[in-house]
Amino acid sequence: MQRIGEWLAGYGLPSPGEISEAGVAAALAVVALAVGWLAGRHLGLRVTELLAKRAGGAGEGLGPRMNGIFRHGVAALLLAVILAAWPWRPLADLGLGLACGAATAMLVVAMLRGLHLPRWAAWTLALLAFMAILSQAIGGLSVVETTLDRVGVQVGARRFTLLSALTFAVTLLLLFAGFRLINRVLAHSIQQARGFDPTQKLLFQKLASIGALLLAFFIGVDLLEVDLTAFAVFSGALGLAVGFGLQKTVGNLIAGIILLMDRSIKPGDVIVVGDSFGWVNKIGVRAVSVITRDGKEHLIPNEILMTQEVENWSYTDRNVRVRIPVTVSYDCDLAKAQELMLKAAADSPRVLNSPKPNVWLMAFGENGVEHEVLAWISDPESGVGNVRSDVLNRLWLMFKEAGITIPVPQREVRVMRDETKG
């Protein structure tokens, strides 16, 4: 056996001992992958069900990928432990490095795609993770780092290299992924909190999102060792930009926060701004989304809602009174006509019984007796025109049965004869 090993070594081939060791490493890698598959099948399924039950929409994206996350994560962890537990020879290191790198790369793809990062970003980070783990396993990571650090340019007192650029890009992507995850967890926690109304929850979600963004920024500055004095010029330029070009954007941002704090306009309110009538879908950083009865979504800047007159039909009370004009002829039974108006309003399904509908005689018009039917509804987001249409349709049939006529404009034309022309 020793002679065979020496003969193989003379041709640059691995010795029988290395081949045996590589076989043991391969067997352990298969066991690690099998354990990861079992963990994904059982633990991943339970965590997916738990996310669907507890997190709801917040677990969207990560939930369906929990099987793969557990499968690749457990396998990568076990392979990393196997790599570090024994001084493997190069052939075994290569096999374990390939397996651990592939498992880690698939874990990165599953997690980042679950956080809705672009496909190119997820696969780029996965490729970098695979190369880093494989290089570390075969002892070549330091060589790669040295090579990347040699390629660069000197800008003032700072040197920019391929290694620093790669580190910067990877750090940004990881911080963005962490921000998405933390923001989603905080949003779900606030949504499930009790004692807050929907407007307060939305405000706290916005503030938590801003806080998470600031935290990610300062962590990134610390990790990348960015000199904060470099932001002095940038802050001055930002101040000028806000003063000249971005004042509307900043004004809309502040106006949106004020709207959420004073609760004058809330998601679900029915508002009228100029010619836009509809219910508030959401209050964003820049604009308020108002959906009309036609299904059109109007984006109204927050600043307009702070500076212009706004009708909020559901600010303190959701009850809204609908005015329905009705005119009847002079020769009809006025008491009977008013009774039918009340009945038509009361029979309409969306009209409230309390406050009760009412009928006002408004004027003795040019063509008939003018009335207004006053009816109350509690769901103005469903529209008011359809209520008016329903009451008038019912009233038309009742007037037909009772013989009450609706007058039409009449004009009397007199033809005068000229006596002088005989």
pLDDT in tens, 66-93: 777 778 888 888 888 888 877 877 777 7
pLDDT of residue 390: 92
Please report, rounded to a whole number, the percentage of residues in the chain having pLDDT higher than 70.
74
Question: Is-contact 29 94, C-beta < 8 A?
Answer: no
End-to-end Cα, the chain, rounded Å: 149
Average pLDDT of the chain to the nearest whole number: 76
Task: Report d(CA 247, CA 251) in Å as an integer.
Answer: 6
For residue 1, what pLDDT band results from cuts at 50, 70 and 90?
very low
- 4 vs 7, 12, 275, CA distance in Å? 5, 12, 92
For residue 276, what pLDDT band results from cuts at 50, 70 and 90?
confident
Question: Is-contact 208 186, C-beta < 8 A?
Answer: yes
Task: Report d(CA 370, CA 355) in Å as an integer.
Answer: 23
pLDDT of residue 373: 92
pLDDT in tens, 159-173: 667 667 777 777 777
Look-up of token digits 């008939």: 368
For residue 396, what pLDDT band results from cuts at 50, 70 and 90?
very high
Report residue 26 CA to chain centroid gap: 45
Mean pLDDT confidence for 320-327: 89
Question: Is-contact 104 127, C-beta < 8 A?
Answer: no
Of 223, 225, 218, give the one whose Cα is nearest residue 158.
225
The more confidently predicted of residues 194 and 336 is 336
Mean pLDDT confidence for 230-248: 61
Q: Indicate the CATH number of 250-312 among 2.60.120.10, 2.30.30.60, 1.10.10.2160, 3.40.50.720.
A: 2.30.30.60
**Domain boundaries along the sequence of the chain:** 14-139, 250-312, 320-402
pLDDT in tens, 18-40: 777 778 878 888 888 888 888 77
Q: Does domain 320-402 match CATH 3.30.450.20?
A: no
pLDDT exceeds cutoff 50 at 337: yes
pLDDT exceeds cutoff 50 at 6: no
Rg of the chain over CA atoms, in angstroms?
37
pLDDT exceeds cutoff 50 at 9: no
The more confidently predicted of residues 230 and 108 is 108
SS (HEC) of 244-265? HCCHHHHHHHHHHHHHHHHCCC
- In 193-319, beta strands by DSSP E: 270-273, 276-283, 287-291, 297-301, 311-312
- 136 vs 96, 170, 354, CA distance in Å? 11, 18, 77
Mean pLDDT confidence for 399-411: 83
